[in-house]
A = this chain, B = another copy of it.
Amino acid sequence: MFQKGDYIEQVSIDCVILGFHNKQLKVLLPKLKALNIWTLPGGFIRQTDSLEEAALRILADRTAIRDIYLEQFMVFGSLERSSPKLMKSLEEIHKESIAEAGLVEADFAWLQRRFISIGYYALVDIHKVVPLCSELDETCEWYDINELPPLAFDHADIVTKAIEHIRLMLNHKLIGFNLLPETFTMKEVQDLYETILDRPFRRNNFQKMILDLDILERLEKKFTGAANKAPFLYRFKKMS
């Protein structure tokens, strides 16, 4: 049971467990007992837990999944994300075990406050994990990411952001490119990359790598007496 004092207040952790198999991507979602609503496997940070220990414990407690690599990807902290009504329903549904534990309503008032939530994800092989339910949950199953059941709080948004994050990480993320002027030389791009990555590139390899991304457009050289010595200028292709 979640007792005030044991936990950092107003902070939760939610885990997006994505399963990959046979060209499909699914997400693991517990369904809350006695409610027609699903959530991400989530929970709170004990005062004695490091953040990472908390995330692994929460995942193990809600799904019995252990020994997987969880990666933090984003913190969710809008003012509207909490749902005191749902927290109240949960208290009502679990009132017997709350009474058995000798707790009273006041012990749970902290759960009605605003929470910010730290999102973690994992990408796993569906066939290598066997999810189980916690006492809060009726089922704990895989859902196709394009056919999610109704999710509590902002959890649908957290799933979307986790997937976006993984996609970005697989692609080149061109951070830094906002530092270039509207038109620029290949050398300027290479300088930027070399500085941020703190490693040299061979000129030809670098040029090939960047052009392969297919995001740059080479501009016509203006006619000048020394045209053949001036470097080409590039700009970003217009995205349609």
Contact = CB atoms under 8 A, between A and B. Distances in A.
Contact of A77 (B10, B52, B178, B179): B52
Contacts of A51: 75-78, 116
Interface string A68-79: 010010111111
Interface stretch (A88-96, A132-140, A152-160, A166-174): A166-174
Contacts of A227: none
Interface in A6-25: 8-11, 20, 23-25
Interface in A121-149: 123-125
A45 interface: yes
B74 A195 contact: no
A196 interface: yes
Residue from the set A23, A75, A174 with the largest chain B CB neighbour count within 10 Å: A75
A215 B23 CA distance: 23
A123 B208 CA distance: 25
A116 B11 contact: yes
Contacts of A10: 8-9, 11
Contacts of A175: 123, 166, 169-170
A25 B168 CA distance: 24
Nearest to A169: B173
B78 A123 contact: no
A192 interface: yes
Nearest to A18: B196
10 contacts: A9-B9, A9-B10, A11-B116, A20-B176, A24-B195, A51-B77, A69-B178, A123-B176, A170-B174, A170-B196
